[in-house]
């Protein structure tokens, strides 16, 4: 069995890429939390949260549509049609988004970094958007080596840039954002190698046909995208408003460590298995793959429980190892942040079977329910909002997503 795994180059490249992404993320967290003050790291975290909002509304939802239909268009020998439509359409949306954002920052945030550092932030967010699209196509085509090289390029340059930057006496956290944008650009260039020739003029009717299908598939995802952002990133802004930028830094440091393993696991499984699920969406193969995938998800729950128990006893050691001693007082939150996000990732993987069936509407309810938890807690407690309540609402929101998605997927499987 071990030799069989070693001969599976597709799997090996995927594992290598995700391992590099996880390990590089750990080192970056260590560098940032150790060298930046709480206020600076809090500001950096808010910029990342703003980026997450743009990615979520609407770009990540649309990306899922192109990801899903890529194999369909390839089978019809229309891969270039989909790729060109995606590049032209997304580029236009990015330009429109930047222009609207500039006007908003000029009118409402003229004395804040959202205006004074607008072009740096806009450059970074734009590269984040384009990166997820070109990578999605490479992964959908199962070009694992190219996908891995793109990740290697991004994270190796980020590590190099950040390590060099901290050797300079003056530290402006927005320069780090600029360096991240440059790393993204280099990764995009790697991803587009071999795809430049796919970009060509296409008739409006073909362009609209691609986007109509994508929008139909992604519409439910667009509807609940805002609730997903509320669950994933709104807490940083609530903490900034009620507690302060330093508390944003603490919350981000704790949750960043908590999500490393679950996110790496989800990324690994998604990168390797989801394209296979999409390509085997019909016939007997589909039911066999789905059965094995369901059993695999059940095994993942056991590993999550083991990780939770480990962190209950050793969270302080983990926090000191991966961040800085100034975060130690909050190590109690790590196990709860870990297990909630781990279950969330398992639920997302489990819900992939609904995407294979083009049933995106069913995922509306888990996102809606989990997305209102944090605003609800904030509304109830108001001025009495605390860091412990922030962790409690974080835990509850992801648990709600896990439970609701698990029930929906279970009912869906019973129908087949």
Pair of tokens at residue 18: 């995700």
Cα separation, 27 vs 180, in Å, equals 14
* Angle, CA 13 vertex, CA 12 and CA 14 arms, to 5°: 90
Cα separation, 366 vs 304, in Å, equals 21
Look up residue 111 and give its DSSP letter. T
Phi, psi of 358 (to 5 degrees): 60, 20
Task: Tell me what pLDDT residue 1 has.
Answer: 45
Pair of tokens at residue 117: 């550092």
Nearest Cα to Cα of residue 391 among 221, 250, 280:
250
DSSP 294-307: HHHHHHHHHHHHHH
In this structure, the chain runs to a length of: 416
Cα separation, 135 vs 137, in Å, equals 5
Task: Tell me what pLDDT residue 17 has.
Answer: 79
How far CA 56 is from CA of 60, 61, 218, 232, in Å, comes to 5, 7, 12, 10
Segment holding 200, helix H or strand E: none
Task: Tell me what pLDDT residue 82 has.
Answer: 93
Q: Give me the tens of pLDDT residue by residue for the chain, a chain 416 residues long.
A: 445 545 567 778 777 877 888 888 888 888 898 888 888 889 888 888 888 888 877 788 888 888 888 988 988 889 899 999 999 999 999 999 999 999 999 988 887 888 889 999 999 999 999 999 999 899 888 888 898 899 989 999 998 988 888 887 666 888 899 999 999 999 999 998 879 888 989 999 999 999 999 988 888 777 777 788 888 888 888 998 889 889 999 999 999 999 999 988 888 887 777 777 766 656 556 677 777 778 888 899 999 999 999 999 999 999 999 998 899 999 999 999 999 999 999 998 888 877 777 777 788 889 889 989 998 998 888 888 899 999 999 999 999 999 999 999 888 777 65
Task: Tell me what pLDDT residue 281 has.
Answer: 57
* Angle, CA 55 vertex, CA 217 and CA 115 arms, to 5°: 145
Task: Tell me what pLDDT residue 8 has.
Answer: 64
Cα separation, 335 vs 342, in Å, equals 10
Helix (H, G, I), strand (E, B) or coil at 134: helix
325 contacts: CB under 8 Å, gap ≥ 6: none
User: Does residue 337 have a cis bond before it (omega within 30 degrees)?
Assistant: no
């Amino acid at each position: 069995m071990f030799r069989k795994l070693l001969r599976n180059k597709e799997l090996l490249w995927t594992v290598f890429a995700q391992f590099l992404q996880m390990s590089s993320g750990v080192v970056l967290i260590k560098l940032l939390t150790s060298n930046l003050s709480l206020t600076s790291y809090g500001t950096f975290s808010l910029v990342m949260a703003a980026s997450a909002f743009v990615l979520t509304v609407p770009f990540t939802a649309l990306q899922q549509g192109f990801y899903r239909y890529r194999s369909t268009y390839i089978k019809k020998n229309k891969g270039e049609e989909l790729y060109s439509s995606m590049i032209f359409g997304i580029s236009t949306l990015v330009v429109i988004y930047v222009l609207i954002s500039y006007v908003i920052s000029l009118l409402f945030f003229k004395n804040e970094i959202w205006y004074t550092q607008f072009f740096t932030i806009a450059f970074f967010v734009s590269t984040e958007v384009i990166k997820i699209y070109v990578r999605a196509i490479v992964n959908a085509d199962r070009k694992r080596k190219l996908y891995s090289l793109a990740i290697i390029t991004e994270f190796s340059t980020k590590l190099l840039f950040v390590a060099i930057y901290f050797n300079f006496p003056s530290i402006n956290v927005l320069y780090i954002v600029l360096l991240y944008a440059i790393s993204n650009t280099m990764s995009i260039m790697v991803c587009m190698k071999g795809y430049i020739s796919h970009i060509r003029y296409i008739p409006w009717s073909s362009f609209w046909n691609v986007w109509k299908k994508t929008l139909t598939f992604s519409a439910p995802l667009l509807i609940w995208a805002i609730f997903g952002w509320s669950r994933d990133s709104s807490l940083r802004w609530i903490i900034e408003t009620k507690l302060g930028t330093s508390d944003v830094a603490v919350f981000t440091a704790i949750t960043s460590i908590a999500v490393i393993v679950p996110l790496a696991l989800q990324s690994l499984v998604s990168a390797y298995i989801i394209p296979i699920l999409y390509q085997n969406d019909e016939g007997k193969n589909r039911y066999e793959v789905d059965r094995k995938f369901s059993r695999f998800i059940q095994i993942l729950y056991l590993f999550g429980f083991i990780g939770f128990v480990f962190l209950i006893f050793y969270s302080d050691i983990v926090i000191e190892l991966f961040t800085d001693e100034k975060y130690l007082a909050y190590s109690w939150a790590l196990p709860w942040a870990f297990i909630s996000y781990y279950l969330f990732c398992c639920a997302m993987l489990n819900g992939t079977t609904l995407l294979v069936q083009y049933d995106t509407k069913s995922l509306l309810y888990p996102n809606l329910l989990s997305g209102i938890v944090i605003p609800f807690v904030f509304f109830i407690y108001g001025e009495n909002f605390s860091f412990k309540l922030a962790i409690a609402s974080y835990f509850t929101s992801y648990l709600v997503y896990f439970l609701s998605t698990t029930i929906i997927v279970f009912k869906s499987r019973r129908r087949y």
